[in-house]
A and B are shown apart, each in its own frame.
Chain A
Amino acid sequence: MSDAAVTTMDRKPMPGMMVYNKKLGMWVFLLSEVMFFTSLIGTYVILRFAHPDHWTDPGVVLNVPLTAVNTFLLICSSVTMVKAFASIQQGNQKGLQMWLLATILIGATFVGVQAIEYNALLGEGFGPVLDLYHAVGRGNPHEGPSLGGPLYGATFYAMTGFHGAHVTIGVFCLIFVYIRSLQGAYTQDSLEGVEVIGLYWHFVDLVWILLFTIVYLI
């Protein structure tokens, strides 16, 4: 039992899932993320059915045009992520770095716009907290009857907030990948890191399309 014998161990595992470990691991992790968002969205669905009076018509409280632009931006960032991966598949280091940087910037912009949106909504009294909720609606002077109810605010901030946290984590991971790409860590034959972070990024994008629809448009 020498240690040298172990290192020469030639791994040809069973032809199972024809994907490498990190990719499979990320898929499996994303499944658990699906369940996490399911718990939040399920909460929203049940509370909204039980208390429809806590919700208003779309666009009365929430700024739909701003978020529509933000949604468009996030979809664009998925495109730039694909371009980054396509670049390294062709061995294009410069392309990889450029498109990664674009993805990072768009992702950061998304989070920034979300922060601005939160700030405006809180200023209009649309918060998550039961005792402080007094939403006056967009563009109204800061008085008037309260629109909707605190469950609207609570579910809104829970769903979009945890999504925003996922985007933020994604941006940090992308920055990590970007720094590694500047060091030339990825090549045509070794691009696992780019692909795996790409999977995560597309997932976060997909979740947002769902959330935008059910939170802002319905």
Chain B
Amino acid sequence: MSTTTAMETHTGTAEHHELSFIRKYIFSTDHKMIAKQFLFGGLMFLALGGALAVMIRWQLGFPGRPLPMPLRILFPDTMAPGGIILPEFYNSLVTMHATFMVFFALMPLMAGVFGNLLIPLQIGAEDMAFPRINMASFWIMPVAGFIMLASFFVEGGAAGAGWTSYAPLSTSGEWTGVYMGQILWLVSLIVLGFSSILGALNYVTTVINMRAPGMTWFRIPLATWSIFITAWLLLLAIPILTGGLLLLLFDQTIGTAFFRPEGSGEPLLWQHIFWFFGHPEVYILILPAMGFVSEVIACRSRKPIFGYHSMVVAMVSIGFLGWVVWGHHMFQSGMNPLLGMTFVVTTVVIAVPSAIKTFNWMGTLWRGNIHFDTPLLHAVAFVALFIIGGLSGIFMASAPVDIYIHDTYFIVAHLHYVLVGGSLFGIFAGITFWYPKMFGRMMNEGLGKVHFALSFLFYNMAFFPMHNLGVQGMMRRIYDPNQYEFLQGLQPLNTFISISIFLFVSTQMIFAFNFLWSLREGKVAGNNPWKSNTLLWTTPSPPPHGNFPEMPTVYRGPYEYSHPDREEDYWPQDEPPATTGSGGETVTTPTPELVPGG
């Protein structure tokens, strides 16, 4: 399918006549417009996922109490009769919350938005390698999202087998009461997979082939590096999921028995396929945030990033190790303990590159000239929360401990520390940092700081106590913990967590307001409001179609901040090095990298 599109893509230099409204804003092939489309789409799904989280926490915080008034009338009797959430509907809520957040919010917000925005601008290309494939990659997402949303309205409701859709629970509606919803879930994710693959092959090709002269591999900014590695993971992991989803779809629809034990199928095989995709997916969701944070911390500390090469090597090794650790999700599945031990070792090894990155961020901040603006605050919060999430990860990586905490709220705490504390704060750092480039205006600093402070506070109030719930034995997907006597004492803590979540979600209104208000009323940004070095900031804000007035030439790495020989504390990558000639005149010397083959 993509071959025909590949052949039709236009040939490098873009045509620059006036575009119609539809070509410019809807079916645009401009990578910056596609980034904005992904941004608005992703933020809408993020809001939807947040709304589902509120419903989940209403049930857990106030079990058996009807939903508050505006929500009560929204749901029919098949979901929440009299405003009381049914257990079946609760299963759908949990499943769809995770599905929307992982596949429709975080992935588009990271790879979709910033892959599109940053790659061409940071490497000095005028657009992506395949602009039309890029457009297709975006437009597949709303189609898949529509299918997923539709599943709420079919008989039996939306999928309820968890976002992991473990077989045999997911193979037949007999077990969950969900027939059509589960099928739509599978179809939607199969469709969405094409979006990821088309995006990823575009990113990989663009980074390899479209760099400006002088942009050697180790002059590429870390954000682009992180998305490049993520693109490889997407490219190789998503097809595995697609294959598994197709087989599961056959089990449900035509009656094959790949994963159905009644036909000698292997339910465990589904777990292997899912997590063989699923663990690289975890790094798909965190690596880009690591890249954004590296960029923000170096720029706002006015210091070269500490250990640039080790940062790259750490990300590459995380990308490789991510393929050999999937079994740590399956310690409880009856796996041979010797194999389990292997997975323990490979998983714990990932702590090494993660720690390298963490120490490098701290080394960058150390004695830096730190500017405490919103992007930096979010970036530092990312580092702090990623440490907590990373440390709780080691508990699960160790099989003997995992057997105790498996499928409890400890897991919920851990994954929200890495995916909200990590990924989402990373996304906030990215949005606040690159917003001026995207829209030409600054976001409001005051509102930004208020949003940050409240988010950080409520976030920790909500998710840190979940560790406690988990250790005390509260199950991960339980509908009403009060049905067990030993969990009844946790109700006050659950109520506290729910209220904290409501506050956390409400706080995001500040962000939404700031985002929309600054579109029109924000301070005009200028080309380089953060005084940053990457090529991206040499373009006007927002950059025109084609990005650079002429091909930029790159002379140095992206993190030459506070160079001792310079008055300015930054040194753009494309500024020619000035040397004093014999007559005292300033001459510029070409760099050896410009010589072909050099």
Q: Any chain A CB within 8 A of the CB of B216?
A: yes
The number of inter-chain residue pairs (CB within 8 angstroms) is: 193
In the bound complex, CA of A21 to CA of B130 (Å): 8
Q: Contact: B256 with A193, CB < 8 Å?
A: no
Q: Contact: B264 with A51, CB < 8 Å?
A: yes
Q: Any chain B CB within 8 A of the CB of A218?
A: no
Q: 24 A-B pairs, CB-CB below 8 angstroms?
A: A5-B549, A6-B126, A6-B545, A6-B549, A11-B12, A11-B126, A11-B210, A16-B209, A17-B208, A24-B204, A25-B130, A25-B205, A26-B6, A36-B242, A39-B239, A43-B269, A47-B265, A128-B256, A131-B255, A151-B257, A151-B264, A154-B250, A169-B1, A173-B4
Q: Any chain B CB within 8 A of the CB of A31?
A: yes
Q: Contact: B236 with A29, CB < 8 Å?
A: no
From 1 to 36 in chain A, residues with beta carbon under 8 angstroms from any chain B beta carbon are 1, 3-17, 19-22, 24-26, 28-29, 31-33, 35-36
Q: Contact: B544 with A1, CB < 8 Å?
A: yes
Q: Any chain A CB within 8 A of the CB of B567?
A: no
The total of chain B residues at the interface (CB under 8 A) is 70
Q: Any chain B CB within 8 A of the CB of A149?
A: yes
Q: Any chain A CB within 8 A of the CB of B473?
A: no
Q: 6 tightest A-B contacts by CB?
A: A39-B243, A36-B239, A6-B546, A130-B263, A3-B16, A35-B239
Q: Any chain B CB within 8 A of the CB of A202?
A: no
In the bound complex, CA of A177 to CA of B97 (Å): 44
Q: Contact: A14 with B216, CB < 8 Å?
A: yes
Chain A hits for B9, CB < 8 A: 22
Interface majority SS on B: helix, strand, loop or mixed? Answer: loop
A138-156 to B contact mask, C-beta < 8 Å, 1/0: 0000000000011100110
Given known A-B contacts A10-B551, A47-B269, A1 and B540 have beta carbons under 8 A apart: yes
Q: Any chain A CB within 8 A of the CB of B2?
A: yes
Chain A hits for B216, CB < 8 A: 14
In the bound complex, CA of A200 to CA of B7 (Å): 13
Given contact pairs A29-B201, A43-B244, enumerate 15 new A-B contacts (beta carbons under 8 Å): A5-B550, A6-B126, A25-B133, A26-B6, A28-B205, A32-B200, A32-B239, A36-B242, A38-B239, A39-B243, A40-B243, A47-B266, A130-B262, A150-B263, A151-B263
Q: Contact: B211 with A14, CB < 8 Å?
A: yes
In the bound complex, CA of A196 to CA of B133 (Å): 15
CB distance from A12 to the nearest CB of B (A): 6
In the bound complex, CA of A150 to CA of B549 (Å): 63
Q: Contact: A32 with B238, CB < 8 Å?
A: yes
Q: Any chain A CB within 8 A of the CB of B129?
A: yes
